[in-house]
Chain A
C-alpha cells in the first residue's frame, strides 16, 4: 500500500475518531478510556506477525516480549471495561439486571 493511501486512511480515521468519541458523555469517560486502552492492544497483531516470522536470537526475545505486553494490555483492557460497564445500571432499564 502506498504511503499516500495510508496517509488518507490515517486522516479519515482521525476524522471518524473525533466524530464518534466527541459524542461519548463524561459519565462514560472511564470505560471509554479503558476500552480504547484495550483497542491499542491491536498491536498484538503486529507482535504476532513479528514473532511468527522471526527465526531466532535477540529478535525472537523482543517479539515474544511484545506479544506478552500486548496480550496483557488487550485482554486486561477488555475484561476491566466489561466489569466497569456491568456496574452501570438504571431503574429505567427493562428486564432482569445481572
Chain B
C-alpha cells in the first residue's frame, strides 16, 4: 500500500474516532456525525484514487447511484417510531455486504481464507438476523411460543452445518461451498432471532450491530486494509457496550435474552390495596398546583402517538411555573435511547430528558409523577420482592414521589407478565383510557384553569 494512501486512511480513522467522541454530547453530536461523514469521504476518495484497476466503472456508478437514492429516500421518509427497524435493515445490508466481499475476494490462502470464511458466517448471521428483526419490529411477522424451542435447536444445527461447510470449503476451495456457507449462516441468524420477543429487541439489535462491525473488521484482515479493521472495531465496541447496558437495564444475561424468556410465575403476592381511579379534572388540579413534576414515558406512549399531547401538557405546566422533567429508563422503546428521540421529535428540550441514574434521587422531592405507557420499569417489586422475575432490575423509583398518576389502557400486565404493586399503592391513582385521549382531556382541563 502506498505511503500517502496509508496516511490518508489514518486521517480517516482519526476522523471516525473524533466523530464518535463528539457524539458524546447533544450540543456537539451533529458535528460528530459530520466528522464521520468526512472520514468516510476521505476513505472512499483515497480508495478510488489509489486503486490500480478500473473496470465496469459505469456499472458501478449506476449501482452506487441507485443505492444512494434508496438510502436517502428511506432515511428521510422513515417515522421515528420505525427507527429500530430501519437501523436493523441498514445493519443487515452492511452484514450482507461484508459477507459478499469476503466471499468474492480472490481465493486467499491459509489464515486469510479462515478469516474470510469467518466473515462470511458473521456477516450472513447478521444479515439473516437483522432481516427477521426488521420483520418482527415492523409487526409483519409473529411466532407462537410453542415453536421457540424447535427454532432454537434448528438454529444451532444450522450453525453446526455452516461450520462443517466452512471446514470443507477451506479444504476444497469450491465456490459453491462458499455460497452454501452464506446461505446456511443467514438461515442460522434468522432461526435464532425468530424466538426473541419485542421487548428484548433493544438487546438484539445492539448485538447484531456489533456483529456487523466485527464482520467489517474481519474483512479488513482479509483485504489487508487497516481502515476497515479500525472502523469495524469501533462499531463492534459500540455494539458490545450497548448490548451490555441494555441487558443490565433489563436485569437479564445476554444468554437469557437469546436462549429463553424468563418463566412467568403467576404469584400475585403484595399487590397492596385496591386500585383507585382518578378523573382528568383531578389530575389537572394536582399538576397545576405541584412544584415539581416528573413524566415517565414508556413505549405505550409512542404506540398511542401521544408525544404531541405530552409536549402540550409540559408547555401548559411551564406556564404555571411548574418544573417538569422526564425520567427515561434505558430500555424505554424498541432500541437504545429510542424514547429520547421520540420526545425530541415532539420538540421537547433535551435538557428536560433525564436518564435513570440522574432522576432517581429526585423522586423524593417530586410532587407528582405521571407514568404514561410504562409498566415493568416502574415496578417496585424489582426492589422488594425477592421471588419476582423482575427482582434486581434497575427501575425508576416513582413510588418515592408524593403522588403517582398512572395512565393506562386497562389493568393488563407488562411484558414480564408480573403484577405491579405500584397500582395498589395508597398514593397511586389510575387514569384509565387511551393515552392520547387521556392527555387530550388533561390539556383541555389545564387550559380551562389558566
One of A9, A31, A59, A80 near B226 (C-beta < 8 A): A9
B384 at the interface (CB under 8 A from A): no
In the bound complex, CA of A86 to CA of B67 (Å): 24
Interface contact A33-B87, CB-CB below 8 Å? yes
Q: A75-B72, A89-B349 are in contact. Are A59 and B230 (CB under 8 A)?
A: no
In the bound complex, CA of A82 to CA of B205 (Å): 20
In the bound complex, CA of A64 to CA of B101 (Å): 10
B4 at the interface (CB under 8 A from A): no
Q: Which chain B residues lie closer than 8 Å to A93 at the CB level? A: 27
Interface contact B241-A67, CB-CB below 8 Å? no
Q: Which chain A residues lie closer than 8 Å to B23 at the CB level? A: 24, 28, 31-32, 35
Interface contact A33-B344, CB-CB below 8 Å? no
Q: Which chain A residues lie closer than 8 Å to B66 at the CB level? A: 68
Q: How many A-B residue pairs have CB under 8 A?
A: 346
Interface contact A32-B67, CB-CB below 8 Å? no
Interface contact B83-A84, CB-CB below 8 Å? yes
One of A14, A53, A92 near B55 (C-beta < 8 A): A53
Q: Which chain B residues lie closer than 8 Å to A60 at the CB level? A: 56
Closest beta carbon of chain B to A41's beta carbon, Å: 6
Interface contact B234-A17, CB-CB below 8 Å? yes
One of A20, A36, A72 near B239 (C-beta < 8 A): A36
Chain A contacts with B in 37-92, Cβ cutoff 8 A: 37-55, 58-60, 62-92
One of B17, B64, B221 near A16 (C-beta < 8 A): B17
Interface contact B97-A66, CB-CB below 8 Å? yes
Contact with A along B160-194 (1 / 0, CB 8 A): 00000000000000010000000000000000000
In the bound complex, CA of A20 to CA of B86 (Å): 25
In the bound complex, CA of A90 to CA of B350 (Å): 6
From B209-217, B293-301, B399-407, B416-424, the one touching the partner chain is B209-217
Interface contact B26-A68, CB-CB below 8 Å? no
Q: Which chain A residues lie closer than 8 Å to B219 at the CB level? A: 43, 46
Q: Which chain B residues lie closer than 8 Å to A89 at the CB level? A: 344, 347, 349-350
Interface majority SS (helix, strand, loop, mixed), chain A: helix
B96 at the interface (CB under 8 A from A): yes
Interface contact B51-A49, CB-CB below 8 Å? yes
Interface contact A42-B97, CB-CB below 8 Å? no
Chain B contacts with A in 35-67, Cβ cutoff 8 A: 36-37, 40, 43-44, 47-48, 51-57, 59-60, 63-64, 66-67
Residue of A nearest to B27 (CB): A93
List, sorted by A's number, 29 A–B pairs whose CB atoms are closer than 8 Å.
Answer: A1-B226, A6-B220, A6-B221, A13-B229, A24-B24, A26-B330, A26-B355, A27-B26, A28-B24, A28-B337, A30-B336, A31-B337, A40-B94, A40-B216, A42-B231, A42-B232, A45-B44, A45-B47, A48-B44, A52-B57, A54-B55, A69-B96, A70-B94, A70-B97, A71-B71, A72-B70, A82-B33, A87-B345, A88-B340
Q: Which residues of B are in contact with A by a Cβ distance under 8 Å?
A: 1, 16-17, 19-21, 23-27, 29-30, 32-34, 36-37, 40, 43-44, 47-48, 51-57, 59-60, 63-64, 66-68, 70-72, 74-76, 78, 80, 83, 86-87, 90-91, 93-94, 96-98, 100-101, 103-105, 111, 175, 205-206, 209, 212-213, 216-217, 219-221, 223-239, 241-242, 245, 328, 330, 335-338, 340-341, 344-345, 347, 349-351, 353, 355-356
The 9 closest A-B CB pairs, nearest first, are A71-B67, A17-B237, A29-B337, A76-B71, A75-B71, A29-B336, A79-B75, A13-B233, A66-B100
Q: Which residues of A are in contact with B by a Cβ distance under 8 Å?
A: 1, 3, 6, 9-10, 13-14, 16-18, 20-55, 58-60, 62-93
